[in-house]
Amino acid sequence: MKKDIHPKNYQPVVFKDLSNDYAFLTRSTATSKDKIKWEDGKEYPLIKLEISHTSHPFFTGKQKLVDSAGRVDKFRSKYKKHLKDKDKS
């Protein structure tokens, strides 16, 4: 292995899944201005996640519905002219 390629500034950090409030403490080089008081009474940097293994459909087996209808409508309105031209041919 190559020497001195890994960072040396690892610190305890809390990662929190905002979709289900699951949080875990681990070591990371990630930094944050946000802080959280952990179960041991100490304060740690907080990294907010939108998805983790506790909310990802692959790991949970449950499909989460996303506002895809809004996205489809937005796409259709944006490319309405191109869609009409393709329907004519």
Q: Where are the domains of the chain?
A: 11-88
Burial class (CB within 10 angstroms; exposed 0-12, middle 13-18, buried 19+) of 14: buried
The answer to whether residues 38 and 44 touch, using CB atoms and an 8 Å cutoff, is yes
Secondary structure letter of residue 68 according to DSSP: H
- What's the pLDDT at 78? 80
Alpha helices in 1-89 (DSSP H): 57-60, 68-78, 80-88
Q: How far apart are CA 65 and CA 56, in angstroms?
A: 12
Each residue's pLDDT tens digit, 41-51 = 999 999 998 88
pTM: 0.61
Q: Name the β-bridge partners of 45.
A: 35
Each residue's pLDDT tens digit, 27-38 = 999 999 999 999
